[in-house]
Amino acid sequence: MPPKRKISAERKPFNWKNKKVLVTGASGFVGSHLTESLAEAGAKVRLLVEYSSHETFGWVDTFSDACIQSLDIVQGDLRDAATTLRLTRDIDYVFHLGAIISIPYSFANPYDVVSVNVMGTVNILDACRSSSVKRLIHISTSEVYGSAQSLLMDETHPLVAQSPYAASKIGADKIVESYHHSYDLPVVTIRPFNMYGPRQSARAIIPSIISQLFAGSRLGIGTLSTRRDFTFVQDAVEGMLRAASAPDVLGKTIHLGSGKETSVSELVEIIASILGCTPTLIQEPRRMRPVKSEVSRLCADTRVAEKLLGWNPSIDLKPGLEKTIEWMRAHKQFYERSKHDCVI
């Protein structure tokens, strides 16, 4: 059983007004929420978004006109050292979320994933050294652990690369660690467990289930016994923001999670109950990971986050799923294709 949670001491909110902040991966699921929160807090936010000939900025395009006009949006590639150096000029804080995150894609294109996730991180680190940023908040993933060898999983859990994606993130995390030790770079690594909420890609397990059930009772699914620790995206963003100003965190890795595990089958039951439907489950081979790559269990020990960040998640799974379903119902145009491979 998870240890009983203590109520964290209330911390004075950090004053972001006029702070100069860079967010990489800002057009994606988590990066877009983080960017909005920073902009609303008065920060001067610079974004790195991947170049597109369609002149689109991902989820940033859905921001209010006022928010977009307040942002400094730069199109570019993390693998271009000149770009990362230009991005960090005169920046106080860097949130590094830029990465290729698809596990199935990493099976087919490991070189691409490693070059972006590892070498892109090296470029950001070198740029931060040259620009004398006050703090780099590097965003990792619980996938670096592979299947849980102990529950709850604390920050000392062994790292096991069960996919090329996981290996690339282990490499990125260790490069960040090395720059702290070698160059005294002010870094903190935040390791969220499975985040979910509005704007998440339809290939992820929660929006995949929801979007399929919007379309009918047939539900294509992969492994039902897989267990994960799910965290609502706004809770995770709050933890990331706290990591930028908290004392005594430099050089450390900190988990963000709920401390509770939920199986895919349980997840289906909760979502179906909210939607008031009875799904017909069909296990599809294309939704399965290779046997040795399947991460069967992940569940976070979050005592370090409670102690150093004063952070605990505020939104439980069912209310978070209700918020997600409500948002997806209002934005069905983003989820018209329901047959995506699930990645959790």
Pairing of strands 93-96, 135-139: parallel
Q: Is 200 exposed, middle or buried (0-12, 13-18, 19+ CB in 10 A)?
A: buried
Span 301-325, pLDDT tens digits: 999 999 999 999 999 999 999 999 9
Q: Please, what is the average pLDDT of the chain?
A: 92
- Paired strand residues for 137: 95, 188
Alpha helices in 98-223 (DSSP H): 103-108, 110-114, 120-131, 164-183, 205-215
- The more confident residue out of 289 and 36 is 36
Q: What is the pLDDT of residues 192-201, one digit of tens each?
A: 999 999 999 9
Residue 339 has pLDDT above 60, yes or no: no
What are the tokens at 193?
């467990």
Residue 7 has pLDDT above 50, yes or no: no
The pLDDT assigned to 222 comes to 80
User: What residues are paired with 297 via a beta bridge?
Assistant: 227
Give every CB contact of residue 182 below 8 A, 6+ residues apart in sequence: none
Local structure of residue 232 (DSSP, 8 states): E
> What phi, psi does 319 have (nearest 5°)?
-60, -35
Could you give the dihedral angle defined by the CA atoms of residues 232, 236, 238 and 241, in that order, rounded to the nearest 10 degrees? Answer: -160
Would you state the pLDDT for residue 289? Answer: 67
Q: Which are the contacts of 94, defined by CB distance < 8 A and separation ≥ 6?
A: 21, 22, 23, 24, 88, 124, 128, 133, 135, 136, 137
Say which DSSP state 216 is in. -
DSSP-assigned states of every residue in 244-280 = TT-TT-TT-EEEE--S--EEHHHHHHHHHHHHT---E
Distance CA 331, CA 252 (A): 38
The tens digit of pLDDT for each residue in 134-180 reads 999 999 999 999 999 988 999 999 999 999 999 999 999 999 999 99
Q: Which of 208, 207, 175, 204 is nearest to 189 (CA)?
A: 175
- In the block, tokens 């979007």 appear at 211
Least confident segment among 212-216, 265-269, 305-309: 212-216
pLDDT of residue 3: 45
* 32-90 pLDDT tens trace: 999 999 999 999 999 999 887 777 899 999 999 999 999 999 999 999 999 999 999 99
Residue-level pLDDT at 137: 98
| 26 or 340, greater pLDDT | 26
Where b means 16+ CB within 10 Å and e means fewer, 251-289 reads bbbbbbbbbbbbbbeebbebbbebbeeebeeeeeeebeb
Residue 8, pLDDT above cutoff 50: no
| Domains of the chain: residue spans and CATH | 20-335 (3.40.50.720)
pLDDT at res. 220? 87
Q: What is the pLDDT of residues 219-239, one digit of tens each?
A: 988 888 899 999 999 999 999
| 99 pLDDT more than 80 | yes
Q: Give the confidence band of 187 by pLDDT, cuts at 50, 70, 90.
A: very high
pLDDT of residue 295: 80
Q: Decide if pLDDT at 254 tops 60.
A: yes
What percent helix, strand, coil does the chain show, rounded to 5?
45, 15, 40
Question: Can you read off the two tokens belonging to residue 211?
Answer: 């979007």
Burial group, residue 103, by CB count within 10 angstroms (0-12, 13-18, 19+): buried
pLDDT score of 283: 78
**Phi, psi for 258 (deg, rounded to 5):** -95, -20
